[in-house]
Amino acid sequence: MKVSPTADYPIRVLPQEWEEDNPLYAGIFTVTLNHGVDIAFIPGLREVAPPWDDRLLPEDLDEIATPQQARLATALLTPYVVTPDDARAGGEETFRWSDDQHLVYYVSSQEFDDYAAELAALSTGDAGRLRSQPRVSDLRDHHAVVRFIETRIVASGRLQRPHAVLLGQT
């Protein structure tokens, strides 16, 4: 399938637990926009980050042994992260790891719980399928998490340039 830049991008939602085939990743969702822009929704990172580094991870990521390690590894490997932190809700933070820039969006615990419930439902419908993914225009009016992604992340002006192009933002 050829991926073309579009502002009406397809959305895919997968529980990271399915993707990794590992229950340590439970509660993490990866939202992929237009087949190439990943956003991780990760619960409870406060115990392990910030600082955003790999000091708590095993050298071989296949040897992750705790949910906290799974959450941290996902954050370090995903360019955009959404995580609950009531003290920082509404804020953002950037960090660099392994020469890549990452952007963290903080939301309240209640917002995160609401978004996670919507993502769980989306992952079992069309948005969880590989071939028939709905477009953002099909979902925005019915899902607060999709509106959040559109307004807070995609329209932020802070996307990495290749991602902005892929999502029709230039």
What is the number of domains present in the chain? 1
127 within domain boundaries: yes
4 within domain boundaries: no
Q: In which domain, by residue range, is 24 found?
A: 11-166
Give dist(CA 116, CA 112) in Å, integer: 6
| 1 has a pLDDT exceeding 60 | no
pLDDT reported for residue 97:
82
1 within domain boundaries: no
36 within domain boundaries: yes
**How far is the CA of 167 from the CAs of 9, 139, 149, 163, in angstroms?**
6, 16, 12, 6
21 within domain boundaries: yes
6 within domain boundaries: no
pLDDT reported for residue 63:
83
Q: In this structure, what token pair is assigned to residue 39?
A: 């956003």
Give dist(CA 30, CA 69) in Å, integer: 16
- pTM, to two decimals: 0.92
Give dist(CA 41, CA 106) in Å, integer: 10
pLDDT tens, 17-63? Answer: 988 889 999 999 999 999 899 999 999 888 877 788 778 877 877 78
pLDDT reported for residue 130:
63
Higher pLDDT, 20 or 103: 103
Burial class (CB in 10 A: 0-12, 13-18, 19+), 83: buried
146 within domain boundaries: yes
Q: In this structure, what token pair is assigned to residue 155?
A: 């329209």
**How far is the CA of 150 from the CAs of 18, 30, 60, in angstroms?**
25, 15, 35
Mean pLDDT of 98-118: 94
